[in-house]
Structure 1
């Protein structure tokens, strides 16, 4: 079995893979990573592992993790199954690297646009020639709500909410309309931009807001909430094959 660990700024998402398939997924707070990893090791026979982290570990956490796992830490130098044509490859986030790996593995010989809707919304484009060309980064849904509250004196801080139309008849509805319609139209607009140049485009939606946006967009996309985990597993297997 392989253990795939995706560490965000506050949350950790972990998947146990067996024979290339996800057996179980765990989500917990970053400060409890060692405690939870020890529990997972008690329940599963883990042979190999990989860690992708956008957050920093303490020295103590690194020592404890190494005792448990001796994992592959994903970074810009890690071997990947695609050609990275980003102008500044060392600044490319590990989460974006994992998404590109998942795209070339699951949709070989296709042009793929991966939309990761989380804290930020990232757009990753991978060509049918297995070339990662880049994409875009914009504020996520929660960040947009927070910005409206933080940078004004009177607008309230709201949680995301489904909308049925586009005309807000009160302040709260107007905020919801601005944020949700703004995000949905941004996504649709970018998909149209890519489609105009790449006719045979496959679009994948992933990230924490996947289910919410899938219902709001009502468009032809492949929703895969665990796409980063799948990509990390792809990278792990790719590197193990080279050993």
Structure 2
């Protein structure tokens, strides 16, 4: 039994896996880390390993305090991954993006894969059918777009995520929602169209905190799974142990 933990920029997600199946998924704030991990390990006392992917500002020591209960593992750039890293600056590629690429490679063999992670930032990661990781793109996520409009202008309000009533915003609030949400959807569909025009035998994987909100609004057919990174952590850990 394995506990996987994804430390993001805004929150933490965790899941307990047994035989490749998620038994339970947890979502909590960073200040709840010690309490929540303790609760999970008490609920699943036969967990043998704690596997961590982190892009957030939490020190390793916070996890190492659980070493008396489980074996703690942190993925690094030196680990073995199931793809060939063709990124021009491989050491700067985020571990979370590497884990997503590994999961896509293992779960969808012999296909061209585009992984779209819609969280604080939205990342695009492309792995071709020969298991070459070629790169992708990074842009602001939905929340960052709302915050940028508020923080870098004098009078625009800070709004919560909401689907606009129309493409033509008839008020300042509706104009912001239209620009942020519709612009976001157009961006994703535009990237997908560009990849599909250049590659066949293609699958698109949408994940991240905003995946469910976006899934029904995209024109392209996608495989949506908000827990794909947690599943990829489990799969990549199993792959590493088989090498």
Tell me the TM-score normalized by structure 1: 0.95
For residues 145-183 of structure 1, the C-alpha deviation after alignment (integer angstroms, 9 at most, x for no partner) is 000000100111111111243111111111111111110
Q: Which residue of 2 aligns with 1:15?
A: 15
Q: Which residue of 2 aligns with 1:27?
A: 27
* d(CA) in 1 for partners of 2:141, 2:9: 15
Task: List alignment gaps of at least 5 residues for structure 2.
Answer: none
Q: Which residue of 2 aligns with 1:41?
A: 41
After TM superposition, list the pairs within 5 Å mapping 1:1-243 onto structure 2: 1-44=1-44, 45-58=46-59, 60-242=61-243
* d(CA) in 1 for partners of 2:64, 2:110: 41
Bigger drift between 186-195 and 159-168 goes to 159-168
Q: 1:153 to 1:105 in 2, by over 3 A?
A: same
Moved over 2 A (4+): 55-60, 65-70
* d(CA) in 1 for partners of 2:184, 2:59: 35
* d(CA) in 2 for partners of 1:69, 1:55: 22
Q: 1:86 to 1:15 in 2, by over 3 A?
A: same
Q: CA deviation at 1:218?
A: 4.3
For residues 168-218 of structure 1, the C-alpha deviation after alignment (integer angstroms, 9 at most, x for no partner) is 111111111111111011011101110111022211111000111112224
Tell me the TM-score normalized by structure 2: 0.95
Q: How many residues align?
A: 242
* d(CA) in 1 for partners of 2:10, 2:182: 27
* d(CA) in 2 for partners of 1:38, 1:198: 46
DSSP 3-state at the match of 2:68: helix
* d(CA) in 1 for partners of 2:171, 2:237: 50
* d(CA) in 1 for partners of 2:60, 2:3: 21
Task: List alignment gaps of at least 5 residues for structure 1.
Answer: none
Contact map agreement 2:165 2:174 (CA 8 A) in 1: no
Bigger drift between 95-104 and 66-75 goes to 66-75
* Greater helix fraction, Structure 1 or Structure 2: 1
